[in-house]
Structure 1
Amino acid sequence: MNYRHIFHAGNPADVMKHAVLALILDHLRAKPAPFCVLDTHAGIGRYDLASDAARKTGESDDGIARLFSRQPPHPALAPYLDAVSAANPDGTLRWYPGSPRIARSALRPQDRLVLVELHPEDARSLKAEFAGDPAVAVHQSDAYTALKAHLPPKEKRGLVLIDPPFEQPDEFARMADGLALAHRRWASGIFALWYPIKERAAVWRFQDAVEKTGIPKILIAELTWHPEDTHLRLNGSGLLIVNPPWRLDETLRDMLPALHAALPNTGGGPTVSWLAPEA
């Protein structure tokens, strides 16, 4: 419960994660039927990149700052960069929109956003951020308890984003178990599970556990920025996506190399593959 995302907001891992999130939301908007977004680790909604905490690490300098107010390196990054621009209407990069703000910017009048945050102080900030917004509900709750409480949604369409801070040593196992439970409750939903790439063996164990659930149609998208043998604290960002939108894999195979080239790196690169095919 000590994690504070402000130290990492807008870094390369955020850029990759939120660029893919924006593409999924763009897909959901393409049909008129309403959709619901459930964000299980919502944080505070937006982050002040000029704050002392953000400047202490300066991680956004190698992330969103490399893309903001510039020609997008790939057209598929436009939905994400539009959301960041909307959070900074004066054209100066100060505010970084977390997943709640990116999701809110994609909602239409018929859509709904459910935000879950366990940390008491962050939950209060999140409620203040969206106070008076009828399209957004904020709950202080454990993420995996929320999967039981809020699924399936009445809208029948939508996305569940599971994006833990990875403070707990068993977080990968909790994610795999949480996905299995959530998929049983809502097999047609889109699920996006984010994970850091630090120790490759831990990622493999997580993917193997998810594969053994028998859930079909699972796409893996990863972006690393150092060679795999560097053993650095954080070497990349991954998303495991259940029921990905049609042709998302093709879009990511084209977009992620352009994103990798636009961000500082000493190697690594993108990977897009199917963990489980469509049944």
Structure 2
Amino acid sequence: MNYRHAYHAGNFADVMKHAVITLVVDALLRKDKPFFALDTHAGLGAYDLESVAAGKTGEYLGGIAKVLAAPVAPVQLAHYGEIIRRFNPEGGLRWYPGSPEIIRSMMRPDDRMALVELHPEDVGELRRCFAGDGRVGVHHMDGYVAAKGLLPPVERRGLVLIDPPFEVKDEMDRLLASLRRIRRLWPTGVVMVWYPVKGREPLRRFHQAIRDEGGPKALAAELLIHPDDDPFRLNGSGLLIINPPWRLDEDLAALLPWLAEVLAPDRGGWRLDWLIEEEAGEAKAKG
């Protein structure tokens, strides 16, 4: 429980992850029926980019600050950019919404969300931020076991977001076990998993484990800010998306090259790979 996201809020990984969240939730909003969202490692609702923690790393300067400064952005970033600007009504860039606030900002009156967090200070802040919102429940527990008590929901449609800190050696094993449980309990839900891109071999094993499990469609998307040849640094940000909404792969094929060019010109890259699909397809990659 040493990880605190306040040091990394608004960085390149947040930009990718949160932009894709808005695309997934936009797809859920196309139908009138309500959706349910479960955030298993919720962190805080929002982050102050003028805080001591954010100032120590300045990671947001290489992430959301670059995106907002770009003169022209793809349409896939429209809703994400609108949410960021709404959190900064006086202009500039001080506040950065985490996934709980991004999803809440898109929810309708009948939609619901459960936020799970293990860190006691963060749970207290989440409860303060979401007090009085009957659509949102905050739970102090281990995100990997949250599915046992919170799934399946009454809603057939929705999103599970798994964004672990990857602090422990058995993280991948716990993640895979949790995914099996989630897919069994709620086979119709969209599942998004964030993972760090460091060494390529552990990711090959992770992706192969997903293929071996079988089941619904699974898409892997990666944004690289360094070549993925150094296993001791954070080279990029990855997302595994199970049950991706229709045409999400097309949106990502337009979004990822733009982000790579803006966030890491001359050294960035991207990957988009169907791990499981109805018909065999080839991976798309650049960089």
TM-score tier by shorter-chain length is over 0.9
Q: Structure 2: how far apart are the matches of 1:50 and 1:38?
A: 29
Q: Structure 2: how far apart are the matches of 1:196 and 1:254?
A: 21
Q: Structure 2: how far apart are the matches of 1:231 and 1:196?
A: 10
- 1:164 alignment partner in structure 2: 164
Superposition pairs of residues 106-185 of structure 1, within 5 angstroms: 106-185=106-185
Q: Structure 1: how far apart are the matches of 2:163 and 2:103?
A: 14
Q: Structure 2: how far apart are the matches of 1:228 and 1:116?
A: 31
Deviation at 1:215, TM superposition (A): 2.0
Q: Measured at CA, do residues 87 and 271 of structure 1 come closer, stay the same or move farther in structure 2, by a change above 3 Å? A: same
- 1:261 alignment partner in structure 2: 261
Q: Structure 2: how far apart are the matches of 1:122 and 1:13?
A: 20
Spell out, residue by residue over 1:242-274, the C-alpha distance to the aligned partner (whole angstroms, 9 max, x if none). Answer: 110001001111111011111134424111110
Deviation at 1:229, TM superposition (A): 2.1
Deviation at 1:134, TM superposition (A): 1.2
Q: Which residue identity is paired with 1:8?
A: H
Q: Structure 2: how far apart are the matches of 1:228 and 1:2?
A: 26
Alignment check: 8 A CA contact 2:199 2:230 kept: no
Deviation at 1:96, TM superposition (A): 0.7
Q: Structure 1: how far apart are the matches of 2:266 and 2:53?
A: 26
Q: Which residue identity is paired with 1:20?
A: V
Task: Give the stretch that moved more between structures: 92-101 or 168-177.
Answer: 168-177
Superposition pairs of residues 165-244 of structure 1, within 5 angstroms: 165-244=165-244
Deviation at 1:70, TM superposition (A): 5.0
Q: Structure 2: how far apart are the matches of 1:118 and 1:174?
A: 15
Q: Would you say 1:82 and 2:82 are equivalent positions? A: yes
Structure 1 residue ranges without an equivalent (≥5): none
Q: Measured at CA, do residues 85 and 69 of structure 1 come closer, stay the same or move farther in structure 2, by a change above 3 Å? A: farther
Spell out, residue by residue over 1:61-81, the C-alpha distance to the aligned partner (whole angstroms, 9 max, x if none). Answer: 000011226545211011111
Q: Secondary structure at the match of 1:92?
A: coil
- 1:36 alignment partner in structure 2: 36
Task: Give the stretch that moved more between structures: 265-274 or 178-187.
Answer: 265-274
- 1:91 alignment partner in structure 2: 91
Q: Structure 2: how far apart are the matches of 1:81 and 1:19?
A: 8
Q: Structure 1: how far apart are the matches of 2:216 and 2:144?
A: 21
Q: Structure 2: how far apart are the matches of 1:70 and 1:226?
A: 20
Q: Measured at CA, do residues 71 and 35 of structure 1 come closer, stay the same or move farther in structure 2, by a change above 3 Å? A: farther
Alignment check: 8 A CA contact 1:48 1:96 kept: yes
Deviation at 1:90, TM superposition (A): 1.1
Q: Secondary structure at the match of 2:246?
A: coil
Q: Secondary structure at the match of 1:177?
A: helix
- 1:17 alignment partner in structure 2: 17
Deviation at 1:210, TM superposition (A): 1.8
Alignment check: 8 A CA contact 1:157 1:189 kept: yes
TM-score (norm 2): 0.94
- 1:63 alignment partner in structure 2: 63
Q: Secondary structure at the match of 1:212?
A: helix
Q: Structure 2: how far apart are the matches of 1:157 and 1:278?
A: 21
Q: Which residue identity is paired with 2:201?
A: A
Q: Measured at CA, do residues 175 and 232 of structure 1 come closer, stay the same or move farther in structure 2, by a change above 3 Å? A: same
Q: Structure 1: how far apart are the matches of 2:79 and 2:133?
A: 22
Q: Structure 1: how far apart are the matches of 2:71 and 2:156?
A: 36
Q: Structure 2: how far apart are the matches of 1:108 and 1:278?
A: 32
Alignment check: 8 A CA contact 1:225 1:266 kept: no
Q: Which residue identity is paired with 2:149?
A: A
Deviation at 1:225, TM superposition (A): 1.2
- What is the total number of aligned residue pairs between the two structures? 279
Q: Structure 2: how far apart are the matches of 1:265 and 1:139?
A: 41
Q: Structure 2: how far apart are the matches of 1:206 and 1:229?
A: 17
- 2:104 alignment partner in structure 1: 104
Structure 2 residue ranges without an equivalent (≥5): 280-287
